[in-house]
Each structure stands twice: as structure tokens, then as C-alpha cells.
């Protein structure tokens, strides 16, 4: 479904992606892990056409990603994105936030969009909050609305850019549970995360990035349970020393 082949990306003289390659099949969940600044979020932004890239090629459903093409908005409907910050419209209710895209982007009738929005808010456990304003919700609730908003456009895949990093620790679990449910239902997902427990439970594959390169990739058993590269082992040891991270079964072997 998503093909990333030898992708290079520069910001001025700084090369932040140095020939990144990996593929994602339909229904697969791939987690990108690694230190800050390694290029994880940049990959997602290139896949979604929010950033251009200077070398290599990205294809989604066979179509080359080029943010200068008119078709880029069609591609963004196929590949949704959930950001660290929720970016909800503060002047619209929860229900209206979820309805906004289908009505104004896809041209759906209001009744159709409203029915789907209510169903999706039920799906993320917020059916009773349809008339609430974003400022009345917790951070975890706002992020779940953001996920419902993305789902409302009926994407074929979703990119998650550290969706729990802006949340208080006690709110992380409710967002991860929604993502677990999506994975179980077969949603294709690429997830940038520092939540090793989540990656261990949900990911089909894990890619470890360092300094713009994929240093190691493979199944969770191999990358998290038996990493071959010293940089991967060092990263996991460092992450597992941070008290906010839950120790997954695979990573306890590293610690």
C-alpha cells in the first residue's frame, strides 16, 4: 500500500533523511522508533505530502507522492494523519469537528456526515460528548476526537505522529486503546511512538531510526526482543530507564 524507496530529505544544508526505504502492506501496523531528531516525523510528513523530498520515491496505492501535484489532496483523503497536537476547531462542537471534513472536503450531505460522525464518536468512546466544546474535554478525549475526525474521511491508512506525547501519563492509555482497536479491525497504520509496550503488542514490524537512517527493522520479537545493532540496544536501554515508559516483555530482555 505504501512504498518508501531510498528517500532523501534536506532542510537547507541538513540532510534529515538519508536514503530511507520500507514498505507497508494493507492491514499492516508499522511502528517507527528512535531518538528525537532521527527523521521519524519527517517521513510521515513526506508520505502525506506535507513536506517535499529531494531524492527517491514514495508511492501510496501506486500513486507517486508529489506535493506539487493537484492530486495531492485526493491522496490525503486516502492517508489520514493524526498529529501530536489535536488541532480541533475551538469554535465548533465535538460533533461539528468530526463532520467538518466530510462536508467541506468530500462534499457529503450533512445528514450522512452527521450519522457517520456520531457512529465514530461512539467508536472512540465519546458518544455522550457530541455537544461538548473542545476546551471542555481532557487531552486524551481531544485526541480521540482527532482520531474520529480522521476516520470520518474514510482513509485507507492512518499516520500517527507521536499521538500521546502531549498527554499526561494517565491519559495515554485511552488513546492507545482506540489505536489497538483500529489495528485489530485491520486499519493500515504507521505510528511514530515512544510507547514500547504499545509497539510490542500491536506492531507487525518495527523500524529503528537514527540520524536519518533506518538502522534496523523487523518483527517486534527481533527488533525489541533481540536487537542486532548496538545503536538499537543503546536506545532501548535508555528509553527503559525513563519511568514514564512501560516495560514491555520483549524490552525487559534488553534492560
Predicted confidence (pLDDT) per residue in 201-220, tens digit: 999 999 999 999 999 999 99
| Domain edges within the chain | 2-86+156-254
Q: Which residues contact 34 (CB under 8 A, 6 or more apart)?
A: 40, 208, 209, 210, 215, 235
Give pLDDT, residue 86.
Answer: 84
| Percent of the chain topping pLDDT 90 | 75
Give pLDDT, residue 169.
Answer: 82
Question: Residue 54: which of 84, 13, 83 has the closest Cα?
Answer: 13
Q: What is the pLDDT of residues 31-78, one digit of tens each?
A: 999 999 999 999 999 999 999 999 999 999 998 998 777 778 888 888
Instruction: With cut-offs at 50, 70 and 90, classify the pLDDT of residue 249.
Output: low
The yes-or-no verdict on residue 251 having pLDDT over 80 is: no
Q: What is the pLDDT of residues 72-128, one digit of tens each?
A: 888 888 899 999 888 899 999 999 999 999 998 888 999 999 999 999 999 999 999
Question: Residue 180: which of 240, 130, 123 has the closest Cα?
Answer: 123
Architecture of the CATH domain 2-86+156-254: 3-Layer(aba) Sandwich (3.40)
* Whether the model pTM is above 0.85: yes
Question: Are 223 and 22 contacting, i.e. CB atoms less than 8 angstroms apart?
Answer: no
Q: Is 128 exposed, middle or buried (0-12, 13-18, 19+ CB in 10 A)?
A: exposed
Q: What is the pLDDT of residues 174-201, one digit of tens each?
A: 999 999 999 999 999 999 998 888 999 9
C-alpha dihedral, 74 to 131 to 89 to 48, nearest 10°: -30
Q: What is the CA radius of gyration of the chain?
A: 18
Q: What string of DSSP letters covers 170-208?
A: HHHHHHHHHHHHHHHTT-EEEEE---HHHHHHH-SEEEE
Amino acid at each position: 500500500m505504501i512504498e518508501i524507496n531510498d528517500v532523501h530529505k534536506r532542510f537547507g544544508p541538513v540532510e534529515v533523511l538519508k536514503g530511507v526505504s520500507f514498505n507497508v502492506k494493507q492491514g499492516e501496523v508499522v511502528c517507527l522508533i528512535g531518538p528525537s531528531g532521527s527523521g521519524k516525523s519527517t517521513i510521515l510528513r513526506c508520505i502525506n505530502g506535507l513536506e517535499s523530498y529531494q531524492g527517491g520515491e514514495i508511492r501510496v496505492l501506486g500513486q507517486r507522492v508529489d506535493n506539487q501535484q493537484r492530486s495531492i489532496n485526493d491522496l490525503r483523503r486516502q492517508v489520514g494523519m493524526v498529529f501530536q497536537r489535536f488541532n480541533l476547531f475551538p469554535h465548533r462542537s465535538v460533533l461539528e469537528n468530526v463532520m467538518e471534513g466530510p462536508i467541506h472536503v468530500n462534499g457529503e450531505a450533512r445528514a450522512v456526515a452527521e450519522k457517520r460522525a456520531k457512529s465514530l464518536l461512539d467508536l472512540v468512546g465519546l458518544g455522550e460528548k457530541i455537544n461538548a466544546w473542545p476546551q471542555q474535554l481532557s487531552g486524551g478525549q481531544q485526541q480521540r476526537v482527532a482520531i474520529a475526525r480522521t476516520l470520518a474521511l474514510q482513509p485507507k491508512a492512518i499516520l500517527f505522529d507521536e499521538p500521546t506525547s502531549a498527554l499526561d501519563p494517565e491519559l495515554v492509555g485511552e488513546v492507545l486503546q482506540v489505536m489497538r482497536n483500529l489495528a485489530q479491525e485491520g486499519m493500515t497504520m504507521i505510528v511514530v511512538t515512544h510507547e514500547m509496550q504499545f509497539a510490542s503488542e500491536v506492531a507487525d514490524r518495527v523500524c529503528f531510526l537514527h540520524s536519518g537512517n533506518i538502522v534496523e527493522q523487523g518483527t517486534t520479537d527481533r527488533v525489541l526482543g533481540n536487537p542486532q545493532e548496538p545503536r538499537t540496544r543503546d536506545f532501548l536501554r535508555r528509553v527503559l530507564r525513563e519511568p514514564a515508559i512501560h516495560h514491555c516483555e520483549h524490552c525487559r530482555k534488553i534492560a
